[in-house]
């Protein structure tokens, strides 16, 4: 990663992490489209994640996120655990206690993870929900795509330390942009197939409380546009 990219990544991680810990300014999709009665809302599918906002600039192309993300991965939800991180901050809050999203990695679509051999990664989530509340709405096996930065390795961009919630020595990541994190829900009756539309999949963006129709995790990859979100009724 070039010095310019590291600088951009540090800025992005800092902005996003601060937005997780304290509510910031709102950001909305510039390409929202009118809601269809046949398409569920984000609340219908994943409930209320109690995330206020991100103080970041909108992006229209996935390539824009790769400029400040160390890696983009596609995988499946493997569970949620309560985490505790030491912020290593001489001032301010000494600990950060997010729920950690455990993801089984299928493939890396951009950049490189801190440990490229990782078959599972852990991503810190904001909000005040319990791990069981997240899992009640986003079950194990749900497809997920996420663009991340490392926040715990010695040369990570934020420099926190893992205390609990994952195996010792595990790298913890944070989402770099609200448009770079989404779950796929499809057609059918399974626990992880919760779309109310009979003929298409949807992507649910928890940090934007939005839904994009007719696209899945394999569409949020470099070379593609960030999909337009449907306005909630």
pLDDT in tens, 83-137: 999 988 777 778 899 999 999 999 999 999 999 999 999 999 977 789 999 999 9
* Those residues with Cβ within 8 angstroms of residue 184's Cβ, 6 or more apart along the chain or in another chain: 142, 143, 144, 145, 201, 202, 203, 204, 216, 217
pTM (two decimals): 0.82
- What is the per-residue pLDDT across 42-75, written as a single tens digit (0 to 9) for each? 988 998 887 766 778 899 999 999 999 999 999 9
Among 163, 72, 83, which residue's Cα sits nearest to residue 122? 83
H or E element: which one contains 211?
strand 210-213
* Domain ranges across the chain: 3-32+51-181
């Amino acid at each position: 990663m070039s010095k310019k990219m590291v600088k951009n990544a540090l800025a992005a991680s800092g902005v996003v992490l601060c937005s997780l810990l304290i509510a910031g300014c709102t950001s909305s999709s510039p390409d929202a489209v009118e809601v269809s009665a046949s398409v569920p809302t984000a609340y219908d599918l994943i409930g209320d994640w109690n995330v206020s906002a991100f103080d970041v600039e909108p992006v229209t192309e996935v390539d824009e996120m790769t400029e400040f993300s160390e890696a983009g991965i596609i995988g499946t939800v493997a569970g949620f655990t309560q985490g505790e991180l030491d912020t290593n901050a001489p001032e301010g809050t000494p600990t950060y206690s997010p729920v950690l999203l455990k993801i089984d990695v299928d493939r890396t679509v951009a950049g490189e993870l801190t440990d490229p051999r990782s078959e599972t990664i852990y991503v810190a989530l904001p909000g005040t929900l319990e791990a069981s509340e997240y899992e009640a709405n986003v079950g194990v096996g749900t497809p997920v795509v996420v663009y991340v930065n490392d926040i715990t390795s010695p040369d990570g961009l934020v420099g926190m330390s893992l205390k609990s919630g994952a195996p010792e020595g595990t790298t913890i990541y944070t989402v770099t942009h609200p448009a770079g994190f989404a779950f796929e829900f499809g057609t059918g009756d399974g626990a992880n197939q919760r779309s109310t539309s009979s003929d298409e999949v949807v992507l649910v963006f928890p940090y934007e409380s939005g839904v994009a129709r007719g696209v899945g995790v394999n569409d949020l990859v470099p070379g593609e546009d960030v999909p337009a979100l449907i306005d909630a009724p």
